[in-house]
Amino acid sequence: MFRRQASSLALAVAVMAGSAAAQQAESPRALFDLGVKAFMEAKIADSVAAFDKLIALAPSAKPQLWQRGLALYYADEFAEGRDQFETHQTVNTADVENAAWHFLCVARLEGVEGARKHFIPIVGDSRVPMKEVHQLFAGTGSEEAVLKAASSGDDEERRNQLCYAHLYLGLYYEALKDTAKAKEHMLKAAHEYSMDHYMGKVAQVHLKVRGWDK
């Protein structure tokens, strides 16, 4: 009898532990980490699914999830991506990158000129070369201006700036459907000027998703 009670107790403890582990695995933090991990492994559908589950669990988290917007872009879910970046704009009003990704989604839906009609104005992003990137997407800047701005500073600062410059030049030319130039710039962002931060890794994910890393 005692052995049976002990076994039942052990089973109950195991079930409770498993339930706690399951709850922890379903926490917003765990789902966020899962979404990021899947994205970095170029498992785009899994990334979107994790972020969507996070929002279902914690709807108030949605405005902060620009990472979800990136995953939606690569999943070709451009209407959802547009909505995500518009939502993120409500909590992050001075970020050129958010405006750029919003542009990229709208361009897939309405073309480049349509995207420019809805382009988000940004004031206050002092990062180099974000002013020039914003002007490029707006149609008032140039590739040369972006690269010139990014080429300033010391070696490490310059490398980081050029990583961003080539990433957004690559994305811009993808919106223009100039695959050759998009690939040229994205390869530079991912390799020649590679950086071990989120957006640096986005360039590497881009190559995998587009099959340009072969």
Would you list the domain boundaries of the chain? 26-122, 127-214
- In Å, how far from its chain's centre is CA 164? 13
pLDDT at 87 over 70: yes
Tell me the whole-structure pTM to 2 decimals. Answer: 0.88
- Nearest residue to 36 via CA among 212, 189, 202: 202
Give the tens place of pLDDT for each residue, 124-176.
Answer: 999 999 999 999 999 999 999 999 999 999 999 999 999 999 999 999 999 99
Confidence of residue 10 (pLDDT cuts 50, 70, 90): very low
The kind and range of the H/E element at 138 are helix 130-138
User: Rounded CA gap, 60 and 37, in Å?
Assistant: 22
- Specify whether the CB–CB gap between 40 and 201 falls below 8 A: yes
pLDDT tens, position by position, 167-204 = 999 999 999 999 999 999 999 999 999 999 999 999 99
| Cα→Cα distances 166→19, 53, 63, 72, 194, Å | 46, 33, 27, 21, 10
Does the pLDDT of residue 9 top 60, yes or no? Answer: no
Taking phi over 0 as left and psi of -120 to 50 as alpha, with beta for the rest, 153 belongs to left
83 pLDDT band (50/70/90 cuts)?
very high
φ, ψ for residue 180, nearest 5 deg: -60, -45
What superfamily does domain 26-122 belong to in CATH?
Answer: Tetratricopeptide repeat domain (1.25.40.10)
